[in-house]
Chain A
Amino acid sequence: MPIKSVIEAVREAMYEEMTRDPRVFVLGEDVGKRGGVFLATQGFLEAFGEARVIDTPLAESAIAGIALGAALQGQRPIAEIEFADFVWPAVNQVIGEAARLRYGSRGQAHLPMVVRMPYGGGIRGGLYHSQSVEAFFAHVPGLKVVTPATPYDAKGLLKAAIRDEDPVVFLEHKKTYRLVRGEVPAEEYVLPIGVADVKREGTTLTCITYGLMLHYCLEAAQTVAQEGISVEVIDLRTVRPLDTQAILDSVRKTSRALVVYEDNKMLGVGAEVAAVIAEEAFDSLDAPVTRLAGPEVPAMPFAPTLESVFMLNPEKIAEGMRKVARY
């Protein structure tokens, strides 16, 4: 099977869908000649032309709002927000408008649209190129929020997002873009949104995570395995809808749960996962459900010494796994 990076998988998914369906088009800042700041749309302008590869003015609310209008007309837009940190002006269009349109029209209209965003830190991005934004969108019924971690998942889920009949916020961890490589089948495939994936099987404890942290958790699991701690690693892949069944099945098996996420801890995705476990699997637990997450500061600082305090890493996660295993 061919080995691809995450950014290659993202590019392939969009390229294939644009080839397959003339209603699919991309719009965003620098998506044309530049091919996107991370090169997600490299070669698209030449392949599909200016009409379907639209360089927009620097105006995020318009990018989202215009995607919404085009979706109402029958197109299937993919809107790119250059960095998730820049999405805030568009939040009203995504949360206030897109999420509520199907419900507010009692199902008379719906929005097949994708809003793609590179998110996350650990790349010396400082306060404004490192943010995790998933919790804000995942709070909202009407949106789907997808957070793949591997090339295989990124491609299959992005294709599913483009074919979905509802608005999907598609979050790509920018540190995984070139760092993470993996097998991607040459043949066509689509993965279901809302289904978690057991990335490593284990018996001592369940580690629930997503995005870049998946890779750190797998590394940590490898480390503690040598100490006799067998960690089952669950990759959520989608944070709304949340695959609660996969979480509960695993926790009922292992009796211990560690939730790992890069975003700051309070009211993050992991808080919801922990609450679901506490509500539904309390009787199975042998240890407190534990969250390992980002610190309560407003965003990730720039200096490497400061950034490393913010970011989790495999060592910190391995220590967290030991604590939960020992309890």
Chain B
Amino acid sequence: MPTPRTSGGAERFELNAGRLDLSPEDMLEMYSTMVLVRALDERIWLMNRQGKAAIVASCQGHEAAQLGAVWAMRQAPSAAYFPYYRDMALAIGLGVTPKETMLGFLAKEGERHSGARQFGLQGIRPDLKLFNNSNVVSTQIPHAVGYALGCKLSREPAAVITCFGDGGASQGDCHEGMNFAAVHKLPVIFFCENNRYAISVPLHKQMAVEHVADRAPGYGMAGVIVDGTDILATYQATQKAVQRALRGEGPTLLEAKVERYLPHTSDDDDTRYRPREEVQEARKHDPLRLFRELLLGKGILTEALDQRFQQQAKAEVNEATEFAEQAPYPEPDDFYEHVYGRV
């Protein structure tokens, strides 16, 4: 059967259920992680409204895309991650704990990414090869490409993923990074989480093409579109991209179509630019509900088990909240440290 494609030449990825290599236990782990991420995200948003978390960019609506991608990336012998600011699900899927996350959003002592010098989850986790250093859109894309170049120079079999929104796809750094990666056939997955809004600017004002992935043929790389509300499809599409990267066949521009349920950040008011009916329609494609229904339908998940996951998530989020609320703010003891290394 020929691969279905857009008029721009990108592949429309469809899940091949027969080739899905996830066990029921794997799927339940993915699902319970998604339950946890949603509960954590809702709590952080609430804590922003209580004046406790200064700012948050919610990942609600993006969870399946991020978790599907990270599950596939974890299979690479070596993987590095260059996400953007909306990637909490990716971070949790990679092993960042709710406690660590909550410390970050409350800017408390013990925060592991930046020592609470940056917004929640921003900074670097060398132990996870998680590099989320900047708020400036798409600067991370050349970093991921350079990291992949370093892997190639040191003959380290690795896959590197960098995530960005549809907004980030307009940046020069996005173009420059993709072009270089394609020229050098670097093992990079350019993961575009397309929620159709750059803060308030809709997609048709950002680009004249329908799909970000339609640009891929212009760079000489694979372009793939996947339903980012479908965790299994995103997992499998990313897995293919990872395998392509590891085989030395170069980068993939993988576009996950997702929904953004909430405003751009807690400082934004999307009622000024987004009709409520549109948001209600988006919520019909809730990745969490879709995955739940799928697993219930397959008999992998039961109502009782789901209840248990929900309770566990709530307990874990409560514990993280309490822990972070009790933690002190960092003392400015090392305020002047880490500008340069010690000479």
Interface residues of A (CB under 8 A from B): 23, 25, 51-52, 54, 56-57, 59, 61-62, 64-75, 77, 89, 92-93, 96-97, 100-110, 141-142, 144, 165-166
Partner of B124, one of A52, A66, A93, A105: A105
A64 to B139, CA, bound (A): 11
Partner of A104, one of B118, B151, B172: B118
Nearest B residue to A75 by beta-carbon distance? Answer: B150
5 cross-chain CB contacts under 8 A: A65-B139, A65-B177, A96-B134, A103-B117, A104-B117
For chain B, residues 75 to 111, give those with C-beta under 8 angstroms from any C-beta of chain A: 80, 82
Nearest B residue to A143 by beta-carbon distance? Answer: B340
Tell me if B68 counts as interface (CB < 8 A to partner A).
Answer: no
B154 touches A92 (CB 8 A): no
What residues on A are CB-neighbors of B126 within 8 Å? 108-109
B339 touches A73 (CB 8 A): no
Given contacts A75-B153, A142-B339, 15 further A-B contacts (CB under 8 A): A52-B153, A61-B172, A65-B142, A69-B144, A72-B146, A74-B150, A89-B172, A93-B139, A96-B136, A104-B114, A105-B114, A106-B337, A109-B124, A142-B340, A166-B341
Would you give the shortest CB distance from B99 to chain A, in whole angstroms? 18
Tell me if B179 counts as interface (CB < 8 A to partner A).
Answer: yes
B146 touches A73 (CB 8 A): yes
For chain B, residues 234 to 259, give those with C-beta under 8 angstroms from any C-beta of chain A: none
What residues on A are CB-neighbors of B125 within 8 Å? 108
A97 touches B133 (CB 8 A): yes
A68 to B338, CA, bound (A): 17
A62 to B188, CA, bound (A): 15
List 9 tightest A-B contacts by C-beta distance, closest first.
Answer: A69-B146, A65-B142, A73-B150, A106-B115, A62-B176, A107-B338, A66-B146, A105-B124, A69-B143
Would you give the shortest CB distance from B270 to chain A, in whole angstroms? 27
Would you give the shortest CB distance from B322 to chain A, in whole angstroms? 24
Partner of B147, one of A69, A102, A105: A69
Q: What 1/0 flags go to B109-148 for Cβ under 8 Å of A?
A: 0000111011000111110000101101001011111111
Would you give the shortest CB distance from B183 to chain A, in whole angstroms? 7
A108 to B118, CA, bound (A): 13
A67 touches B341 (CB 8 A): no
A25 to B145, CA, bound (A): 15
Nearest B residue to A65 by beta-carbon distance? Answer: B142
Nearest A residue to B144 by beta-carbon distance? Answer: A69
B124 touches A25 (CB 8 A): no
